[in-house]
A and B are shown apart, each in its own frame.
Chain A
């Protein structure tokens, strides 16, 4: 019978707390997707190839972050569970009144938690498999070239095991705490559970203003500290800055309700429609919820910051591939015994079984000379090598880049001439001057024809096979190598950003949604009264939406301000690595925010309205006079 009761209760709460259940599912799904990364074909591809270092770094970071993410989600689940239990105090009291022993009630609740946990785990992992596959496809689509055999649907058993272990642990903890709190509760508290004093004493304006100004000052100090000291100096003052920021946020929330209420009260709009009602609803809750609002605001700051930073860094990295490796391959001929000797590479390739005419689009040889300051007039410290104007212009013409004029010489190369680090510190000199310079090495730039991955594999095989150069020291700088290195880094930042950012965003939105939905029963009574007073349905619905929107917007606005300041500091760090495209990263972040946060907002509005309507339906159930 308990089983039946538990099952019925779960079915009902699934409907009532769809938001809670969905959050659990998404949490499990997120956890699975990122812990299943090592079974992804994209990762295997990277690991097998040249990006293995970053792949290992990704896995290590996922492991570390997963503990963190699990802790955040555990906090959320415990918080949600406490909310749900408190909402059901009356129901539990009724069980006791009907003579159900305490142990049985505790068992009932534990059974319910177990059922919900199992359902969330199963649906989360199922969704996670789909998500993992989609992420794999997305990752692969970012590669220039991959074998077609990849991108199959895979299941990662270790990830399933880990997810079950972590979330099993969390649910076990929740069940334990639930059982404990229920077996300790007293009947009278349960029966009176719904009757609570609405603590809404008026706070003097002076106090609100003082707290508001104090909060602003603390926040301002924290901002100034962050902007002047930068993001990366982690010491005592860094933590002081965090503490100041948190305290400032808390005080703002604490003082805002009294402050805003007084500001708007004299205003004519206060007495229009349900404005007064909405503002009061919101201000009462903003005061009691200021602690959780602070937490939500900080979570949002982390979510926005992490997502925007990773998106920004990601773009910086993508831009770097083209600059570091303008050609598919640069062959470096170091000569024979460190003495310069020009080689006929076309012949060498033919000898190795590769026909340059069919395999390559173009093949250009560039001779690099030692820079002799006595001849060129440019110091060795600023340029270590020189090329002739005709070689340089030929390369530039092939890439449709601006060529140089004889009159400007000698000058540093405007664009890299070859793949790899050798591209820096080269000067261009007039053709005639090269006669006076000592040749250093030969560099041959090659672009492949046809399937990049296939040609690259063949060329690599040929170059690395002994005897390709017939005694010459010949090496290759492959664009794909640079590319995979960068791809690895790119994925690392992107994945970690997504993982953490989504977790934070999800948690923040879920806390707000639960807060709003848990007020549904109180709200139902109020909205029913509004209906009796003749407020039309449209007006009531708009008021409810406005109430939820206010609850969602306030932490978001402050979170965005925090994030904007934080991003300014973070960009200073990223700018050392490369340029940040802040418009694009902001757009990506905004999109994420819109989808996740907006989704929760919409779900909350619908849920809250349904709760209000169902409660109202009891009175006007027969829908009279329609």
Chain B
């Protein structure tokens, strides 16, 4: 019973982290049809910005309780500087090109940003563990968990719920849904698609940066942080169906729970179990669990 509960809690915590990291990827693909490898860079940028800014402010006497707001602010700051620059400066000139070409461009940008991170922050690790231990811990049977893990789950729920609300209940969201369904018709109807692309890329990147910022207190922020994340994020959104918000949520939950159960019951196969799940899903649903039937254009 204790172990089953641990599987569930560990799985949910991991799913929450995965969802925040991956949901922006699926949003950007849904609207812009870009498989955005740069997403991993924004995760890393969020982590570095959070670690350095929060660490600096804490060192200058900032009350530790404010560190959570600073984590969020750091993600916002770095994204608002970098994301529009990339979208307006590079990507907008590439939209007419084939999806594979844009994929390669985002991969190139990913490599450039990895090096840029090293230029700015160096290769030494950054730590800001204060927010992780600040709230204390709670016990579940015989296991101790920091309350901070609940913040991660809360961030995931807020990101997913907020995104769903935005898409369904705001004017911008409805315009985005129109662009998701048909870019050409949206443009013909007077929607400023280019502006929608800018909003989408910035907001999707912000979600990745928030994922990195709120992960920073639990890890050593080091070069290469975004590599592992982008691989896992792709697995999650492919399982759920590229472009699907509920798909990303379900994909994250499936991956999180399967990984957690494996670690508890069969740790020998943990290394490949995520990719086994992905392969099995794709074998039966080649476009993912929440793939949407597309009308054929003539």
A and B co-occur in one complex: no
